[in-house]
Amino acid sequence: MSGPVAAFLAHLAVERQGSAHTLAAYRRDLDALTAWAEGRDLLALTREDLRGFIAAEHRRGLSPKSLQRRLSACRSLYRWLLKQGRIAVDPSAGVRAPKALRKLPQVLDVDEAVRLVELPTDGPLGLRDRALLELFYSSGLRVSEVCGLRWANLDFEQGLVSVMGKGSKQRIVPVGSHACHALQDWQRMMAGRAGDFVFPGRAGKQISARAIQLRIKQLAARQGVYKRIYPHLLRHSFASHMLESSGDLRGVQELLGHADIATTQIYTHLDFQHLATVYDAAHPRAKRKP
């Protein structure tokens, strides 16, 4: 690993407290740049060099989305080097990757979401599973936020949960009454048998994201919801249903913890897609000629 890349990754890990997943992704993309440079000093690369790197990766068969990620890592590196005074000009400025087709996330409709979360609470894990699903759909949390959630983060009296999101940014999100009741039922059952984590895994440690993913998939099949169900789908569904009901894009951005409102705007496309489908089905002049 080159000196500039190692220093940049150390900055991400220590000062910006990037997750292991984020650091691994940056390392892969910047290792690809280092390998392409074949020993040349990364501090001396020009804009044309970076265009050549993206073109070479394109010829190798990388998708537009992967190329955009490669270029994003390069931009982050060179902007940091510019700020540190180690380069005079940012060679990534003005370099563009091919546009990727924007794929809208799948969501559950309201009936499907309700059918999924209202599962029976009998059985050894029934109360836990109900609390888990109600919380996901009620508050739109990321799976990592649910994994690390502690009882101290929940305020049942106010109906709020405090979570640590991406970039170690804390936000406070409402928890609906159904989710609060389900969580309190689960808490009473676990009284004296668990540690601080709301959803403990083995030996009282926090549950893994993989364990939650597998469990939600099993519960969806049991409830007769036959879409591909995963934790982030519940977050997408939460955001889409909130926006559809309120029309408050900025509020949904705050609830999701998005740093950039452009990330939240994808849900306006989902909402419009739904309205267009209703229009095509209902309006007498909407039928298109074959």
Residues assigned a catalytic role: 142, 166, 232, 235, 258, 267
Secondary structure (H, E, C), 80-144: HHHHCCCCCCCCCCCCCCCCCCCCCCCCCCHHHHHHHHCCCCCCCCHHHHHHHHHHHHHHCCCHH
Asked if 67 and 98 count as a contact pair (C-beta separation under 8 A), the reply is yes
Distance CA 212, CA 141 (A): 13
- How many Å separate Cα 204 from the centre of its chain? 25
Q: Are 134 and 183 in contact (CB under 8 A)?
A: yes
Q: Take residue 102 and report the two structure tokens written for it.
A: 């924007």
Angle ∠(252,19,193) on CA atoms, nearest 5:
85
User: CA 285 → CA 121, 275, 280, 282, 290, distances in Å?
Assistant: 48, 15, 9, 9, 14
Q: Are 206 and 199 in contact (CB under 8 A)?
A: yes
